[in-house]
């Protein structure tokens, strides 16, 4: 069981995933005196040995790799080893967030509830954290002891951590904001101006709220670091891959060509498709996700996305 460090001794942390986010977290926590080990599929090493002699596992793999990795590790997972999930997105097959996939796989393997889990999310542009620029994030968990312990242990001079008890809302907001960042990139790429983008982000936040509510998340999460905070950072910075992806779409570049140009994981397209499947299951309406998916599928042209959203039936603001 993970315990608070004493006498200046740090945690033994295993980071799964060495993309931009996983590598940034590893370097950040190494500077704080923690003992870090990491794994990436590209090296061909077995991840199972890293579950031994560690205090915390941090999953920072892309959503595409979560299910297979969780299924592989679940039979070997120590009962008292906590997990911190940092992956953002919705799995298109399971229509689940990352921590729910881990929870399902670990519980199925153990026949019990599984170990304690937490989620880390917020406005976390990896490049800025790497340059020691200040940021804040939230650790969400149903286990208040774990959330508080991680808050104390993983904070850094440039990373302030808060806690909440809403992991599903935190993850839903973190996933859907990537779609809204794509839309924001399109808006800026087309030169539509500040009015259009402000309107888009307001309606985007409302759309995220529809999913948070449908999944049983807490309304307050929408206006916290994992909701509004993450949306503002991701939809306004060229450091955001989803925002840059939207800008490339605005130039008339295809989805695959845009992904090739960026050369790294972009969760927005995958999330848009998964969100629509989830919305069908939950019987809710996501107009911005619908238009982004239609553009990616080639059913509409980029400027049609804007006109279609503007032509929607009149409604009261609070109805979505």
pLDDT higher than threshold 90 for residue 27: yes
pLDDT higher than threshold 80 for residue 114: no
What pLDDT score was predicted for residue 1?
54
What pLDDT score was predicted for residue 185?
96
Q: Which CATH number does the domain 12-165 belong to among 3.40.50.720, 3.40.50.1980, 3.40.50.12280, 1.10.10.10?
A: 3.40.50.720
What pLDDT score was predicted for residue 310?
74
Q: How confident is the model at residue 5 (pLDDT cuts 50, 70, 90)?
A: very low
């992806």: which residue's tokens?
A: 245
Q: How confident is the model at residue 2 (pLDDT cuts 50, 70, 90)?
A: low
List, for residues 82-106, the tens digit of each pLDDT value.
999 999 999 999 999 999 999 999 9
Domain 170-319, CATH class in plain words:
mainly alpha
C-alpha 200/C-alpha 143 separation (Å) is: 35
Would you say the pTM of this structure is higher than 0.75? yes
Q: What percent of the chain has pLDDT over 90?
A: 87
Common-topology check for domains 12-165 and 170-319:
no
List, for residues 140-169, the tens digit of each pLDDT value.
999 999 999 999 999 999 999 999 999 999
Contact between 275 and 289 under an 8 Å Cβ cutoff? The reply is: yes
For residue 171, which phi and psi values (nearest 5 degrees)?
-70, -40
- 83: enclosing H helix or E strand: strand 83-85
Pairing mode, strands 83-85 and 135-140:
unpaired
Residue closest to 41 by CA, chosen among 50, 31, 53, 30: 50
Q: What percent of the chain has pLDDT over 70?
A: 95
What pLDDT score was predicted for residue 291?
95
Domain ranges in the chain are: 12-165, 170-319
List, for residues 32-87, the tens digit of each pLDDT value.
999 999 999 999 999 999 999 999 999 999 999 999 999 999 999 998 999 999 99
Strand partners for 35: 12
Catalytic residue among 34, 88, 100, 177: 177
What pLDDT score was predicted for residue 311?
73
What pLDDT score was predicted for residue 318?
64
Active site annotation includes 177 = yes
Residue closest to 245 by CA, chosen among 274, 271, 265: 265
Residues 6+ apart with CB under 8 A from 69: 16, 41, 47, 59, 61
Q: How confident is the model at residue 7 (pLDDT cuts 50, 70, 90)?
A: very low
List, for residues 121-141, the tens digit of each pLDDT value.
999 999 999 999 999 999 999
What pLDDT score was predicted for residue 315?
64
The stretch 225-241 carries a mean pLDDT of 96
pLDDT higher than threshold 50 for residue 6: no
The stretch 314-319 carries a mean pLDDT of 64
What pLDDT score was predicted for residue 308?
83
pLDDT higher than threshold 60 for residue 243: yes
């Amino acid at each position: 069981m993970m315990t608070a460090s004493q006498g200046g001794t740090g945690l033994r942390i295993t980071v799964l995933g060495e993309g931009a986010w996983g590598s940034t977290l590893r370097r950040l926590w190494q500077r704080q005196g923690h003992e870090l080990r990491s794994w990436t599929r590209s090296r061909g090493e077995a991840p199972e040995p890293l579950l031994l002699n560690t205090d915390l596992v941090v999953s920072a793999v892309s959503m595409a790799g979560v299910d297979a990795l969780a299924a592989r590790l679940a039979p070997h997972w120590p009962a008292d080893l906590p997990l911190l999930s940092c992956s953002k997105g919705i799995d298109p097959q399971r229509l689940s967030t990352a921590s729910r996939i881990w929870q399902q796989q670990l519980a199925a393997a153990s026949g019990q509830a599984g170990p304690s889990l937490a989620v880390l999310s917020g406005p976390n542009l990896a490049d800025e954290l790497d340059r020691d620029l200040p940021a804040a994030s939230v650790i969400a968990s149903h286990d208040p002891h774990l959330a508080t312990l991680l808050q104390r242990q993983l904070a850094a001079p440039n990373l302030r951590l808060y806690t909440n008890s809403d992991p599903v809302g935190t993850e839903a907001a973190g996933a859907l904001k990537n779609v809204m960042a794509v839309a924001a990139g399109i808006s800026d790429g087309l030169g539509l101006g500040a009015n259009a983008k402000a309107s888009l982000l307001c309606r985007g936040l409302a759309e995220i709220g529809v999913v948070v509510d449908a999944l049983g998340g807490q309304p307050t999460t929408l206006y916290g670091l994992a909701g509004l905070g993450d949306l503002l950072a991701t939809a306004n910075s060229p450091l955001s891959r989803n925002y840059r992806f939207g800008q490339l779409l605005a130039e008339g570049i295809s989805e695959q060509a845009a992904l090739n140009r960026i050369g790294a994981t972009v969760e927005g397209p995958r999330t848009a498709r998964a969100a629509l499947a989830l919305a069908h299951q939950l019987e809710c309406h996501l107009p911005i996700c619908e238009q982004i998916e239609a553009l990616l599928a080639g059913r509409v042209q980029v400027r049609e996305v804007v006109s279609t959203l503007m032509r929607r039936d009149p409604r009261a603001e609070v109805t979505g």
